[in-house]
Amino acid sequence: MKSHSESYKAAGVDITAGYKAVELMKTHIAKTMTAGAMSDIGGFGGLFELDLTGIQKPVLVSGTDGVGTKLKMAFLMDKHDTVGIDCVAMCVNDIICCGAKPLFFLDYIAVGKNFPEKVASIVSGVAEGCVQSGASLIGGETAEMPGFYPEDEYDLAGFAVGVVDKDKILNNKTIKEGDVVIALPSSGVHSNGFSLVRRVLDVENEDIKTPLAELSGKSIGETLLAPTKIYVKPMLALFEEVTVKAVSHITGGGFYENIPRSIPKGFGAKIEKSALRIPPIFDMIAKKGNIPERDMFNTFNMGVGMSVVVAKEDAQKALEILRANGEDAYIMGEIIVSEEGVVVC
């Protein structure tokens, strides 16, 4: 590559660093390639050939998101190879709520200064998230923006596209009283509520690297940086064998905002608090911040990354399938006739 501009470099943008970053990314990206991927990284558009075998009425489903202020934890810990998983997870976990299979992903990384090794480390996490979700990383963009971001900071966002047969899009109109609500455990805080977490735990000033007994020997930083779980493959396996009535990705807004989005009006979800497996990091946040229980359930996932509604007679089979696919799923409640949306009791 002969492209080079000393004038642009003097203004803070090193074109050659961008080329080096792309070269370092390629081995990570190669791991994500599926049969439909047609793109060589470095082109102007990401290409993907749709295989519509067995799909009568294809509907494309898209999702987009970023990592948010959780990135501040990556800066503080100087660990950048997991936030890419979060970025992918926030998109593909939304897509799966429609019953769609993710096909491909594109990322956008904006940096104050392009350090090729750091950018490649970020992309390694994106690639890992794509592998976990079965999506191809077919393109992206790295923008060097001196004066807009500090040199050692960056932002990360992306979007995913999936496909579902129109007749198989999840339909919550069959939900009825007595249906079972299944919990898929989270890995922790995931990627929401970090503005509150950072204030309560004062992560910029407190020791976040010392292992703590109350966090099972992990540090606060390590616990908070645990990447968002990706539920795509277990859920696709479930769709194959059980009629799933509704799926909710528990993100910002917690139980009270997300679960009602998948339940028709006139019904609510009664959640048994005693059934929940709440990780200790949430107890720490609640106690240190003196945060009311309602606010905790309205901000965080409280140990539940995804909820699934199935008929009562299908619940045991659903649990068996999810557990066989690596999810320690459990029943956390039931559907009731209610106008409240969610009742935690």
Tell me: the pLDDT tens digits for 26-74? Answer: 889 899 988 888 866 667 888 999 999 999 999 999 999 999 999 999 9
Q: Say what the pLDDT of residue 24 is.
A: 84
| Residues of the chain where predicted confidence (pLDDT) is lower than 50 | none
CA distance 69 to 289: 18
